[in-house]
Amino acid sequence: MPELPEVETTLRGIRPHLEGRTLKAVTVRESRLRWPVSDALYALKDCPVIALRRRAKYLLIELEAGQVMIHLGMSGTLRVVEAALPLRKHDHVDLLLDSGKVLRFNDPRRFGSVLYQPGGEPHALLAALGPEPLGEDFHGDWLFARSRGRKVAVKSFIMDNATVVGVGNIYAQESLFIAGIHPSRAAGRISRERYKRLANAIRVVLARAIEAGGTTLKDFTSADGQPGYFAQSLNVYGRAGQPCPQCEALLKADRHGQRSTSYCPQCQR
């Protein structure tokens, strides 16, 4: 599943082609996505594109009267292509621009979504989200305060979008390794100072992944068709049974919330 760095990479790839343009029309070939494509999308015509931004894993195309919300789901991709380019299988939605190009949404598994939210209140899917991990509102004190009394494993805690958005399975494992925290430790039994190290590790890991273009995943390529390369520098993710890059102890594996977790039994406490 594309995680926050992949979504941010996609945003940066498509932004120059959309900002300042006009959305002329929307073509929907398959409306049965994770949620049905918003009926309001069909009526969008001649709408100036004000800005593009990201909230958690949602790409938000800001228009004068509202916003188009796109989620890539497990296998979704976005490309900016000429409108006349022949369709590929699973090209479900086109946003036609005044440049003659389209923003084309492809999603084989159809777990993604293309929604519309009128101006005013944020969409219900965005209302309860926690802070952005690279924003000023996210820090160790926030994690410490929110974790008090929590018995859930710290890995599951930081993957909860109400705690902080966009820290998916890969980046949770990498961040906990850098911070030296065992992924199974109860969230409420971690000190403020260790949470400060963890918050900084999350920032560093995500920033590096964004700079590298996202992590290479089976179903993901960036907007220009080039895969990310952060996977080449992963410390623990997917490396159970291999030597730890710091102490050379064999990395172990555990499960948290149905997901496999790799960690170092010596470096992470």
When divided into structural domains, the chain yields a total of: 2
**Mind listing the pLDDT tens digit for each residue in 234-261?**
999 999 999 999 999 999 999 998 889 9
Any known ligand binding at 109?
A: yes
**Is residue 17 part of an annotated ligand binding site?**
no
Residues 9 and 109 in one domain: yes
> Are 8 and 112 found together in one domain?
yes
Considering the candidates 2, 5, 133, 183, report the single residue annotated as catalytic: 2
Q: 177 and 259 share a domain?
A: yes
Is the same domain home to 168 and 257? Answer: yes
Whether 57 is catalytic: yes
Count CA atoms within 13 Å of residue 235 on its CB side.
24
Does the annotation mark 6 as catalytic? no
Same domain assignment for residues 104 and 151? no
- Whether 78 and 176 share a structural domain: no
Same domain, 100 and 152: no
Residue 245 lies in a domain: yes
Q: Which of 127, 157, 188 is the last residue of a domain?
A: 127
Confidence at residue 232, expressed as pLDDT on a 0 to 100 scale:
63
> Is residue 144 located within the same domain as residue 246?
yes
Collapse the DSSP code of 142 into the 3-class scheme (helix H, G, I; strand E, B; otherwise coil) and give the result: helix
Note whether 210 and 252 are same-domain residues: yes
Q: What is the pLDDT of residue 65?
A: 85
Residue that is last in its domain, among 69, 96, 127:
127
Catalytic, out of 3, 6, 8, 174 = 3
Query: Binding site annotation covers 92?
Result: no
CA distances from 146 to 103, 133, 142, 151, 186 (A): 39, 15, 6, 12, 13
2 residue type, one letter:
P
CATH of the domain at 258: 1.10.8.50
Looking at the structure, do residues 198 and 97 belong to the same domain, yes or no? no
Rounded CA-CA distance 208/226 in Å is 17
Check whether residue 186 and residue 237 sit in a common domain: yes
Q: What pLDDT, on a 0 to 100 scale, did the predictor assign at position 225?
A: 62
Q: Of 12, 24, 34, 259, which is the active-site residue?
A: 259
The DSSP secondary structure of 49-102, one letter per residue, reads: EEEEEEETTEEEEEESSEEEEEE-TTT-EEEEEETTSPPPTTEEEEEEETTSEE
Told to judge if 82 belongs to the known catalytic residues of this protein, a careful annotator would answer no
- Of 127, 160, 195, the one marking the end of a domain is 127
Same domain for 23 and 70?
yes
What's the domain range around 43?
A: 4-127
Answer whether residue 44 is part of any domain: yes
pLDDT value of position 189: 98
Q: How many CA atoms lie within 13 A of 22 on its CB side?
A: 5
pLDDT of residue 122: 81
- CB-based burial of residue 198 (10 Å sphere; 0-12 exposed, 13-18 middle, 19+ buried)? buried
> Does the residue 256 lie in any domain?
yes
Q: How far apart are CA 136 and CA 165, in angstroms?
A: 13
pLDDT score, position 229: 56
Q: Is 185 helix (H, G, I), strand (E, B) or coil?
A: coil
Structural domain contains residue 16: yes
35 inside domain? yes
Ranges of the chain whose pLDDT falls below 70:
215-232
Is 101 catalytic? The answer is: no
User: Which residue of the set 54, 55, 57, 101 is catalytic?
Assistant: 57
